[in-house]
Structure formats: C-alpha cells, structure tokens
Amino acid sequence: MRKAFLLFALLAVSFITLPIIHIFVKVSSHQLLETIKDREVWDSIFISISSALSATAFACILGIPFSYLLSRTEFRGKELIESIVNIPVAIPHVAAGIALLNEKTTVGKFFSYFHITFVDTIYGVIVAMLFVSISFVISSAIVGFNSVSKELEMVSRSLGASEIYTFWHITFPLALPSILRGAVLSFARGISEVGALLILAYFPKTAPILMYERFEEYGLNSARPITALVILVSLFIFFCLLYLTKRYAKG
C-alpha cells in the first residue's frame, strides 16, 4: 500500500511542478533580467502583497470573533449561516466582482460618506481580495476553536477568570495554529485573485492582472517572465509564512 500511495504522491507533485518547471525552461536569463528591471512589474507585486496582507488582516479582525461565536453557540439556522460563509469559495469570482460592483448597496452608500469608492481603486482591490478569502480564516478558526476543550474554559471560569481573560489566555493561544494556517490560505487566495478584480478594480494593477494584460496584448512569451518572477516571489513568501506557522505550532 505504501508504494501505491507514493506513486499517487509522485503524480500529484508532478502535476503541480511540471508546468512550473516548463515556465522556467522557456524563460531566458535575459528575459528574466529585463523583467526584474521592469518597475511596473515590481509595483504590481507590491500592490498584490500589500493588498493581500490588508485583506487578511481585515479577514482576521472580522472572522475570528465570528468563528468563536459559531464554535461556542448553538442556535436555529446555524447551518445556514455556515453555508453562507462559504459562498465566496463556491461562486465564480467574476460573479463576486459583479456583486461588489454595485455601489448603490447599503455597504457602498456607507463607504461613500467617507469618500471611499471601490471601482478601480486600491480599496476595491482590498475588498475584492477580502470577499474571496475571508472564508478560509473563518473555517480554519472554527476548526481551531472546536479543538479547544470547553471543559478547559469552564475550569478557567470556575477559578475566577473572566470570559475575555479565558479567551485571550487559553482559547485563542490554543486555536492560534489553525487560525494562522487559515490566514496563510487567505493571503494566498487574495494575492492570486483575478476574476473579481477584472470586474471591480482593474486598476491599480496587481501582479495577476498585469500578467493577464501582457498575455492579452503581447502573447505568451511576454507573460512568461513575469509569471516566473511572481512564482519565485510567491514561493519565498509562502515558505517563510509556512515555516513561521509550523515553528509556532511546535513551540
């Protein structure tokens, strides 16, 4: 059985790595060097990273308390709420962009009072990334909170600790590894978003949007060097994030 599983593992890894390797094989060192010198490419990478970090931060601020509520409270319609939370994962992200595009909604009117609009602005980039990625934080946080024994919280409360003290000093630290994994997935989903951004916020251009634009205007050879550079940057970022997450979980 172990050999069969190793074969499937090899097939899975090959399926992921071979297309990526093909990109680097097709990109010359001269093309990669010219791409590294391209200011527009680095600007788009910076916008992608900063916007995805902002979206992830908002996802944690909004999602963690909500996840704790879902984990610790039973109420009628809970399954429906959990289903709604996962809608952004299920629907096409072009549809998400169209839904967010309507600024005449209550949310749009609220932000308009602060002179914040979402169409072709950095706020639109962040809100689109937040919409498609918040489900990962909520789902992972629920798993983390469910793994923390309620009896442990009850012992803390019986010893005189307040509910908020128990949350911050017992429940949250124990659930944090799962929350961090959800945050990493949320960041990854945000930084890779294209569909919603094509509809809602084409500008300022993120790295995926710039790759799409170069492909549409100049063809595959022009898009490959940017893709190779973005893969290298993304690989470095996710290696660091996963390393820190695993190190915290062990420590």
Could you count the other beta carbons within 10 Å of the beta carbon of residue 33? 11
Report the share of the chain in percent with pLDDT over 90: 56
What is the rounded CA–CA span in Å between residue 69 and residue 81? 11
The answer to whether position 243 is within a domain reads no
- Determine the number of helices (DSSP H) and then strands (DSSP E) in the chain: 14, 0
- Helix 39-72 vs helix 122-146: angle between axes, to the nearest 10 degrees? 40
Q: H/E/C letters for each residue in 145-211?
A: HHCCCHHHHHHHHHCCCCHHHHHHHHHHHHHHHHHHHHHHHHHHHHHCCCHHHHHHCCCCCCHHHHH
The answer to whether position 37 is within a domain reads no
Q: How confident is the model at residue 102 (pLDDT cuts 50, 70, 90)?
A: low
DSSP 76: T
The answer to whether position 219 is within a domain reads no
Q: How high is the pLDDT of residue 116? A: 76
- pLDDT, one tens digit per residue, over 150-172 is 999 999 989 888 999 999 999 99
The answer to whether position 193 is within a domain reads yes
- pLDDT, one tens digit per residue, over 228-243 is 998 899 888 888 888 8
Range of the domain at 199: 50-207
Q: Which amino acid is at 220?
A: L
* Helix, coil or strand: residue 226: helix
Indicate yes or no: pTM above 0.85. Answer: yes
Structural domains counted in the chain = 1
The answer to whether position 136 is within a domain reads yes
- pLDDT, one tens digit per residue, over 5-18 is 999 999 999 998 99
Rounded mean pLDDT of 122-130?
A: 93
175: CATH = 1.10.3720.10
- Average pLDDT of the residues of the chain: 89
The residue with greater pLDDT, 183 or 244, is: 183
> Is residue 39 over pLDDT 90?
yes
11 touches 212 (CB < 8 A)? no
Q: How high is the pLDDT of residue 166? A: 94
DSSP 102: -
Structure tokens at 190: 């945000």
- pLDDT, one tens digit per residue, over 43-95 is 999 999 999 999 999 999 999 999 999 999 988 888 899 889 988 888 888 88
The answer to whether position 102 is within a domain reads yes
179 touches 71 (CB < 8 A)? no
Rounded mean pLDDT of 186-200?
A: 92
By C-alpha distance, which of 212, 191, 236 is closest to 47? 191
Structure tokens at 60: 């944690």
110 touches 179 (CB < 8 A)? no
Q: Count how many residues are written for the chain.
A: 251
Q: Which amino acid is at 117?
A: T
The answer to whether position 174 is within a domain reads yes
∠ Cα 91 96 97 (to 5°): 150
Which helix (DSSP H) or strand (DSSP E) does residue 47 occupy? Answer: helix 39-72
At residue 119, what are phi and psi to the nearest 5 degrees? -75, 120
Q: How high is the pLDDT of residue 155? A: 92
The answer to whether position 9 is within a domain reads no
* Helix, coil or strand: residue 118: coil
By C-alpha distance, which of 237, 251, 249 is closest to 56? 237
